[in-house]
Structure 1
Amino acid sequence: MNVELKGIHKVNKILANGSIKTYYYAHRGGPRIQAKYGSPEFVTQYMALKQSASPKVKRNSIDWLITQYLESYDFKALSDASKREYKRYLTLISQKFGKAPIDIATRNDAIAAYRQWHRSMQDKQRTANYALAVLKKLMAWAVDSGNTTTNPTAQIKPIKRKGKSTRRDIIWTKDQINHFNTVAGCHVKNPFNAALLTSQRKKDIIEMTWDAYDGDTIKIRQSKTGKDVWIKVPEELKCILDGLDRTHERVFLNSLGQPWTLDGYDSSFRAAKIAAKVNGVTFHDTRGTAVTLAYIGGASFREISLMSGHSEREVEEIINTHYLNRAAAADAIDAIKKVNQAGKV
C-alpha cells in the first residue's frame, strides 16, 4: 500500500484461544474498515469513511448540544469507564433526536416523545434506564450551561423491575464456573476467579499490584468508592496468586505478559464466555457470588463488610434480601476448588 493513510486507528484483540487479531478503524472511535489491510479495497473504504466521518452539525440542535457537552468539564470529570458508557448512549440519543432544534426538544410537551422512546426499550431494562439517565444528564447540563431554561425529562421515571428483582439475585452457578474455567485461558480466568473470591470490581482486580499482597491479605483502594479494604486471602485465591510469576508490577497480565486494559480484558472475557456458552451472567455478577461464597463459608457481616466495601447494614440487607442462594453458592466453591486441585489455574 503506497498511499499514506493518516489517522488510522489499529486495535489488537486477544481472542479466547490466546491468538491476536488486528482490526483497523478510519479514526479513533470511528467505523471499522472491513477490507483486508494493504489491499486497494482497504484504501477505497478508508477514503469513503473519512469523507463521511465529520458531518456538519447544525447549531442549536441536540447534536450540537451533545458536542458541547462532550467538551464540558462535567463530561471530562467522569471516569474513563463512564465516558465510554455515556458516549454509547449519547449516540442512541443522537440517532433519535439529534436533528431536533433545542428550543423544540426542550419544550415541556416534548416529554411524551422522550417517554415513548424510553419505553420502547423496556425489554432491555438496564439499557432503557441508562439511556434515560444520560438523556436527563444532558438536559440538566443544558439548563446549567444556559442553553435552555427547561428540562422536560426531569419527571420521567426509570422502568422498575417486576418483583423488585436486581442483579443481586444472580450468581454464577457451579456449571457456569466450570464451563468458563475449562474454556478460558489462565490469563482470563485468573482475574475472574480472584473476583469470585474477593467481591472486588473488575477494574480493581486487573489493576492489582504485587505490593498489595503480603501472602495472607490483600489491600485494595476501591477505584469507585475510594475506600481501603483489607481482604484475608482464602486458600483458593492463595493457590492462584502463589502460582503466578512476579516479574511484573501487576498481578494479572494478558497472554503477551503485559498489563490488562479494561477494554482488552472485556474483549477476552466476552469471547471466553461465548465459547463456554455461558449466558445470563456478567463479570459484575461475581460481586454477588463472592458475598454469597463468603457468607456460606462462615464469614461474619463485619468480615464481608471489610472485604466488599459495603457497610455492615448493607451486607445484612443484601444477604437477607438477595444472596441466600445457599446451594448455588456451595456449588460455586466446589467449582473453584476443583480447578485448583486439577492444576488448571
Structure 2
Amino acid sequence: MKKQRKPYVTEKTGRLYYRMTWLDGNRRRERYIPLPNDEDSADFDRAYWAIRSGTAEILQEAPRTSWEALIQSYRASRAYRSKKPGTRKKYDSVIEQLREKNGNKDVCKVTRAQIRAIHEKYAHTPRKADHQLQVIRLLLNYAKNELDWIQTNPAEGIKLFGSQKEWQPWPDTLQNAFVKACQELGDDIALMAYHLGTGTGQRPGDLCGMKWEHYDGEYIAVLQDKTAERLWVYCPDRLRRFLDGQPKRGAYMIPKNLTQPLGYDALERRFRKIRTAIGKAADGHVMHGWRYTAAVALAEAGATDAEIQAVTGHKTAAMAQKYRRQAAQRRLSRQAQMRRE
C-alpha cells in the first residue's frame, strides 16, 4: 500500500515541496518551498514542521535588498523583457536556482568567496560554470547600476574558465564511432539527435522541438529558440533516407512520450553515455559540435556565406566566414603540399 504523504507535500520534477497557498485580495497565491527528498528522514520531519509552524528560516521576513526582490525587479525591467525568449529561458535556469536557495538572503552581504565557490562547484562542466557566473554578475550589476544597492560588484574580475575545445566539428571517424555506439547500445534517440544535428546544423535544444509534422519529406520547419524564427531547412539525402526509415514513436522526433519532447538535459545524459562508450577519442567533443560539423561540410562543398546562413540560421555572416576560412585552409594546405610532389 502506498504511503500517504503529509498534508501540503507535493512533488514537482522529481523533488518534494511544501505547497503554501493564500489569498491576496481576490487573487489566489501559492509558493513551493523545497523539502529534503527522503520523507522518512529526520531532516525531512524537521524541515516540514518548521515550515508548518512558521519558524523556518526561509519564511522569515526578507530584507528589502533580498535576492527575491532583485530578481523580481530585474524580470520587470526592460533589460530583461527585451531579450529573446531563448536567452530569457537560459537566464531563468540560473535565476530560479538563486531564488530557491537564496531568495530571502541579502544581496548586499554576498561575498566574492561565495560567488567563486559557486563557479568552482561546476568546474567539471566549464560552460555551465561560466554561465552561472555570468548571470550572477549580470544581476549584481543591475543591483549596483540600477537599484544602487551595492557600490561594487563582487563577481567582477572572477576569471571564466573559457572555451574547453567544445566547439570542434566532428571528424568522419568519430561520427562513425558515434553511430556504431548508438546501435550497439540500442539508443535510437541519441542516433536520431545525431542525424538531425549533423543534417540540419541546428542547436541541440532546437532538435528537441522538432515534430514529425514539421517534416514534409524534403524540408524540416525549424523554430529556433534563440531567435524565435521559423526556418525551412532542406534535408540532405542521408538525413532524408534516415528519417524515412524511422518509426514515429510520438509527436516529436526526439520523444519523451507520445505528446512531449525529450528535454535537453535528458538528451545530453544519453549523449554522455554514448561518448563514454566511444572512449578517449570522443573527449572534448559535444553535441553543439554537430552544428559546426554541418556548417564546415557546407563550406567545404563550396556554399556561400548566405547559403550557410540559410541552413544554420546565423544572423550575421561572421560565423559563416569562419567556416569558409577553415574549409579554404584545409584545401589550400593540400594544394601547397601537393606542389612538393
Superposition TM-score, scaled by structure 2 size: 0.66
Aligned equivalents of 1:219 and 1:194: distance in 2? 12
Is contact 1:219–1:230 with CA below 8 Å preserved after alignment?
yes
Aligned equivalents of 2:304 and 2:198: distance in 1? 17
Aligned equivalents of 2:185 and 2:329: distance in 1? 29
Pick from 316, 320, 326 the counterpart of residue 315 of structure 1. Answer: 320
Is contact 1:210–1:251 with CA below 8 Å preserved after alignment?
yes
Give the structure 1 partner of residue 135 of structure 2: 134
Q: Residue by residue, what CA displacement relative to the aligned partner does 1:267-310 show, whole Å, maximum 9, x if unpaired?
A: 25404532651553332232222223333455443322111012
Structure with higher RCO (Cα < 8 A, 6+ apart): 1
Is contact 1:90–1:134 with CA below 8 Å preserved after alignment?
no
Distance 1:259 1:123, change over 3 A: closer
What's the Cα RMSD here? Answer: 4.2
1:157 to partner: Cα distance: 6.2
Give the structure 2 partner of residue 273 of structure 1: 272
Distance 1:270 1:319, change over 3 A: farther
Q: Residue by residue, what CA displacement relative to the aligned partner does 1:41-67 show, whole Å, maximum 9, x if unpaired?
A: 37x664344346753367448xx6212
Distance 1:86 1:176, change over 3 A: farther
Pick from 279, 286, 292 the counterpart of residue 282 of structure 1. Answer: 286
Aligned equivalents of 1:72 and 1:47: distance in 2? 34
Instruction: Specify the SS of the correspondent of 2:34.
Output: coil
Aligned equivalents of 2:155 and 2:121: distance in 1? 18
Superposition TM-score, scaled by structure 1 size: 0.66
Distance 1:4 1:136, change over 3 A: closer
State how many pairs are aligned.
Answer: 293
1:205 to partner: Cα distance: 1.7
Is contact 1:168–1:322 with CA below 8 Å preserved after alignment?
no
Distance 1:82 1:241, change over 3 A: farther
Is contact 1:180–1:273 with CA below 8 Å preserved after alignment?
no
Aligned equivalents of 1:89 and 1:24: distance in 2? 16
Give the structure 2 partner of residue 302 of structure 1: 306
Distance 1:2 1:60, change over 3 A: closer
Larger radius of gyration: 2
Distance 1:45 1:267, change over 3 A: farther
Give the structure 2 partner of residue 243 of structure 1: 245
1:146 to partner: Cα distance: 2.6
The alignment-based identity, stated in percent, is: 16
Is contact 2:190–2:270 with CA below 8 Å preserved after alignment?
no
1:154 to partner: Cα distance: 7.5
- The residue identity in structure 1 corresponding to 2:272 is K
Q: Residue by residue, what CA displacement relative to the aligned partner does 1:82-125 show, whole Å, maximum 9, x if unpaired?
A: 31133346778x59xx96671x65xxxx7x65786588679664
1:324 to partner: Cα distance: 7.3
1:252 to partner: Cα distance: 3.4
> 1:101-140 residue pairs with structure 2 within 5 A?
102=108, 125-140=126-141
Q: Residue by residue, what CA displacement relative to the aligned partner does 1:156-215 show, whole Å, maximum 9, x if unpaired?
A: 264364xx7753235372324432453253234313321121111223222123443222
Give the structure 1 partner of residue 210 of structure 2: 208
Aligned equivalents of 2:35 and 2:149: distance in 1? 32
Structure 2: which 5+ runs fail to align? 19-31, 82-86, 278-282, 332-341
Give the structure 1 partner of residue 94 of structure 2: 85
